[in-house]
A and B are shown apart, each in its own frame.
Chain A
Amino acid sequence: MSAFAGSEANETFVLNLGPQHPATHGVLRVKLTMDGEYIVEAEPVLGYIHRMHEKMGENRTWAQFLPNTGRMDYLHALAYNHGYVSVVERAAGIAVPERAEYLRVITAELNRVSSHLLWFGAFILDLGGFSPLLYAFDDREHILDLLESVTGSRLTYCYFRFGGVYNDIDDNFVAGTQAFIKRLRGRMPMYHNLVTKNIILMTRLKEIGPISAEMCRKYGATGPVCRGSGINFDVRKHEPYSIYPEFDFDVPVYEQGDSMARYMVRMDEIEQSLRIIEQALDKLPEGPVMADKVPKILKPAKGDYYHAVETARGSFGVRVVSDGSNTPYRLKLRSPTFSNLSLFGEACRGMLLPDALALMGSLDLVIPEIDR
């Protein structure tokens, strides 16, 4: 397959993929050195949507930065909310009521399902199949409606607060979520019949775009990318936070490391997330959703704090350094897609352009989250 790639004697040309290109799903630019349709070298060029979120964090009070988190990864905004409020709670020593933790898990997992559904549609779109996108959007719409009813927004959520969540759920939400779980479970076989078992899709994904476990470790890839390469790492299981240890769920791991493995990891994760939501709804305790006596102006004690959460794309870590004032001294965001994209240059060397784009799609890139 890569017989011609990389040989010096052949003439190469540079192909600018992006920053406006249908396959990059955003303003990502990849500078490809091509030998015919084979990729000799790929260099992602970042920064087209850089908004200085980290610097913004240093200039705002702890609470003022909260809405920014939902704008980094707009597809799984609640997990980013979760990461930031958790680290601040850790720094300021705020205890969160149990019901609030349950609501956080339920909404974050619903959001994860919606993110994976959108990825599923967009990924098949990258491969040239248009219809599954709209089927997935149909399901995703239900999640957006549910989350809108409780959080008030449909995409860039800012629902979590230091010490809880700002709004309690009602019976409609519980009934709607249960109905949705039933609906999506009924539709998963349809997705598998329409897409997963499609012979064209299989030939395009199986044994294409291999990423080794070693490569994942080298670049710090996390999330479905590393789980598709046989690394069993999920922050929810291995560095448990919130109330995830109370739930019974599996971490899907595939050994093959090809695009199909990453595809299957995400498809399985949808089902696992549904399991978590179902258990959380069953166990949902009564009580307040906000901790009492959270000070209006937070001034966490001096120190260096880190908290990681598992987002739809991998491990998202927030490191804050507090100097005891009302703004963070330093705010560092470790975004999973940045690390996942870093391995693209090495992974796609010698591949054909369509396969490389399938590989890129299987990394599930959200560009604003890479640039932050």
Chain B
Amino acid sequence: MHVDPEIIRLLAFLIGVIAFAALNAAYLVWLERKEAGHIQRRIGPKEVGPFGLLQPLVDGIKLMTKQLIVPAGVDPVLFRIAPILVMVPAIMSFVTIPFSETLVARNLDIGLLAIFAFASVNVLGLLLGAWGSRNKYAVISAARVVSQNVAYEIPMLVTVVTLVMITGTMNLHNIVMQQQGGFWHWNIFNFSASPLMPVAFLIFFVCMLAETNRAPFDMAEAESELVAGAFTEYSGMGFGVFFMGEYANIVIGASMATILFLGGWDCPFGLFPGVHWFLIKMYFLIFTVIWIRWTYPRTTFYGLLNLSWKILIPISFFNLILTSAMLKVF
């Protein structure tokens, strides 16, 4: 029987992408706990398996065996659909991320656009879940999440538009290919396009933190203010899926920063480019994200909006104009 190789390829990548997302979600929790432990001069998880490596597995089993409580008074449809709305787009985004020159599930010409389209669904999931919970803390959190994401999507997208102007393509594969051949070719050091590129990277990184609701911008959860924010009413795997979606979004954010600014799978000094370089850069960024979380206190909501509207957006627009001028002149 003849099977279309395209179908086999699709299936393989589907399984691969889901496995990658799930494995990352699980082991980033382990990494986060381990790293937090070392930052706080503790050891972190160590009992389950060597170095606590089986901890995520046990956590997963624990979450799955817990009762899924759907509180009386919640909107049953929205309440159940919200975690899925957070998780699915996150997994979908992995489809178009090129991990190396050949390792990509689907090389779309509008890959960049697709990822940002999927990323914005995440907010909707949180909003619906919080609204459906009929919990005051959750609703406050939802209001925060939406305005936070609106505020931070603007500088992020303006920065990305700047990048698209420089690269002239939205194909992630091509964007990386243009940055091959050592770190001085990477977009973060692309001074001929704009002297503000490192700043643009910083803006992108900060926006990524805010978009993924990570500390110091974790307004959505803010456990000392809003108990658990949007997730207050969730229990068991409903909460677990939200959690996984959050980590998947961090992976995507770090991957995007790697692809757009740090040359994707390119080696900084031109030796053996490949998927390992992509992963090293990505996990370094994730490590930084966790590092920031366990070092800084939380900002306030208005401080966060002020940062976006008064600092990030003007700078990113200035960078946009500067880049377009320089592209025109040189």
Query: Is B46 an interface position by the 8 A CB rule?
Result: no
Given A21-B227, A354-B225, A128-B297 contact (CB < 8 Å): yes
Other-chain residue from A127, A134, A194, A352 in contact with B302 (beta carbon distance below 8 A): A352
Which residues of chain B (209-227) have a CB below 8 Å from chain A? 215-216, 218, 222-225, 227
Interface segment among B36-44, B157-165, B270-278: the answer is B36-44
Asked whether any CB of chain B lies closer than 8 Å to the CB of A23, the reply is yes
- Does B295 have its Cβ within 8 Å of any Cβ on chain A? yes
**A130 contacts B294, C-beta separation under 8 Å:** yes
A127:B297 contact, CB within 8 angstroms: yes
B5 CB-CB contact with A under 8 Å: no
A195 to B297, CA, bound (A): 9
CA A37 to CA B225, docked complex, whole Å? 11
Bound together, the chains give a CA A371 to CA B253 distance in angstroms of: 48
Contacts of B137 in A (CB 8 A): 15
Nearest-Cβ distance from residue B142 to partner chain A, whole angstroms: 12
Contacting A at CB under 8 A, from B270-305, are 294-303
CA–CA, A195 and B295, complex, Å: 9
Within 8 Å of chain B (Cβ to Cβ): is A64?
Answer: no
Knowing A138-B41, A354-B301 are in contact, say whether A125-B224 is a contact too (CB < 8 A).
yes
Q: Contacting B298 at CB < 8 Å: which of A37, A135, A200?
A: A200
Contact digits for A124-165, partner B, Cβ 8 Å, 1 yes 0 no: 111111110011001000000000000000000000000000
Which B139-192 residues sit within 8 Å CB-CB of chain A?
A: 140, 143
With the chains together, A62 CA to B84 CA distance in Å? Answer: 63
Contact present for B299 and A131 (CB under 8 Å)? no
Nearest chain-A residue to B293 (Cβ)?
A130
| B197 → chain A closest CB, angstroms | 24
- What residue of chain A has the Cβ atom nearest to residue B300's Cβ? A354
Provide the A341-368 mask, 1 if CB < 8 A to any CB of B, else 0.
0000000000011110100000000000
* Residue on A nearest B137 in the bound complex, by CB: A15
**Contact indicator A130/B40 (Cβ below 8 Å):** yes
Most buried by A among B40, B136, B294, B300: B300
> Is B295 touching A131 in the complex (CB atoms < 8 A)?
yes
Residues A195-232 near B (CB distance < 8 A)? 195, 198, 200-201, 203-204
Contacts A131-B40, A134-B40 known; A13 to B294 CB distance under 8 Å?
no
Are B301 and A198 interface neighbours, CB within 8 A?
no
B40 touches A135 (CB 8 A): yes
Cα A279 to Cα B36 in complex, Å, equals: 39
Q: A134-B42, A200-B216, A204-B303 in contact; A354/B294 too (CB < 8 A)?
A: no
From A124, A128, A129, A355, B222 is in contact (CB under 8 Å) with A128
- By secondary structure, the A interface counts as helix
A129 smallest CB distance to B (angstroms)? 3
B307: min CB distance to chain A, Å: 10
Please give me the residue from chain A that is nearest to B219 by CB atom. Answer: A354
Q: How far is the CA of A36 from the CA of B136 in the complex (A)?
A: 10
A352 close to B301 (CB less than 8 A)? yes
Chain A residue at minimum C-beta to C-beta distance from B299 = A200
What A residues does B301 contact at CB under 8 A? Answer: 37, 352, 354
For the complex, give the distance between the alpha carbons of A124 and B296 in Å.
9
Complex CA–CA separation, A347 to B86 (angstroms): 39
Whether B297 pairs with A353 at a CB distance below 8 angstroms is no
State how many residues of chain A have any CB contact under 8 Å with chain B: 31
- Which residues of A are found within 8 Å of B227, using beta-carbon distances? 21-22
CA of A352 to CA of B306, assembled, Å: 15
Annotate A1-36 by CB proximity to B: 1 below 8 A, 0 otherwise: 100000000000101000001110000000000001
Known: A22-B227, A352-B301. Contact between A15 and B222, CB under 8 A? no
Q: Bound state CA distance, A352 and B294, in angstroms?
A: 24
State how many angstroms separate the Cβ of B163 from the closest Cβ of chain A: 28
Chain B residues with CB under 8 A of A127: 224, 297-298
Between A22, A128, A204, A353, the greatest number of chain B beta carbons within 10 A of the residue's beta carbon is seen for A128
Interface residue ranges of A157-203 to B (CB < 8 Å): 194-195, 198, 200-201, 203
Alpha-carbon distance between A182 and B41 when the two chains are bound, in angstroms: 20
Distance of A196 from chain B, by nearest CB (Å):
11
Residue of B nearest to A24 (CB): B224
Closest chain-B Cβ to A191's Cβ sits at a distance in Å of 13
* Complex-state Cα separation, A125 to B225, whole angstroms: 11
Smallest CB gap from A361: residue in B: B224
A130 to B295 Cα, complex, angstroms:
8
Judging by beta carbons under 8 Å apart, are A131 and B39 in contact? yes
User: In the complex the two chains form, what is the Cα distance from A1 to B218 in whole Å?
Assistant: 22
Q: Hey, what's the 0/1 contact readout for B231-267 against A, CB within 8 Å counting as 1?
A: 0000000000000000000000000000000000000
The answer to whether residues A129 and B299 also contact, given A22-B224, A354-B225 and a CB cut-off of 8 A, is: no
User: B302 near A200 (CB under 8 angstroms)?
Assistant: no
Q: Write out the residue numbers on chain B whose beta carbons fall within 8 Å of the beta carbon of A135.
A: 40-41
Contacts of A131 in B (CB 8 A): 36, 39-40, 294-295
Inter-chain contact A129/B39, CB cutoff 8 Å: no
Give bound CA distance, A260 to B223, whole Å: 22
A134 to B39: give the CA distance in the assembly, Å. Answer: 10
Contacts of B36 in A (CB 8 A): 130-131
Asked if B299 contacts A203 (CB within 8 A), the reply is yes
Decide: B297 and A129 in contact? CB cutoff 8 A: yes
In whole angstroms, what is the CA distance A204 to B297 when docked?
Answer: 9
Cα(A135)–Cα(B40), bound, Å:
7
Q: Is the CB of A128 within 8 A of B298?
A: yes
- List chain B residues, Cβ under 8 A from A353: 140, 225
- With both chains docked as a complex, state the minimum distance between the C-beta of B303 and any C-beta of chain A, in angstroms: 6
Interchain nearest-CB distance for A290 vs B (Å): 41
Residue in B40, B295, B300 whose CB lies within 8 Å of A352:
B300
- B residues within 8 Å of A by Cβ? 36, 39-42, 136-137, 140, 143, 215-216, 218, 222-225, 227, 294-303
Q: Can you give 15 contacting A-B residue pairs, CB < 8 Å?
A: A15-B136, A22-B224, A22-B227, A127-B297, A128-B222, A129-B298, A138-B41, A200-B303, A203-B299, A203-B300, A352-B300, A352-B301, A354-B298, A354-B301, A357-B224
Complex A-B, nearest 3 residue pairs according to Cβ-Cβ distance, in ascending order: A128-B298, A129-B297, A127-B297
Task: Known pairs A15-B137, A21-B227; list 11 more (Cβ under 8 Å).
Answer: A23-B224, A37-B140, A124-B297, A128-B298, A130-B36, A131-B294, A134-B42, A135-B40, A203-B303, A354-B298, A354-B301
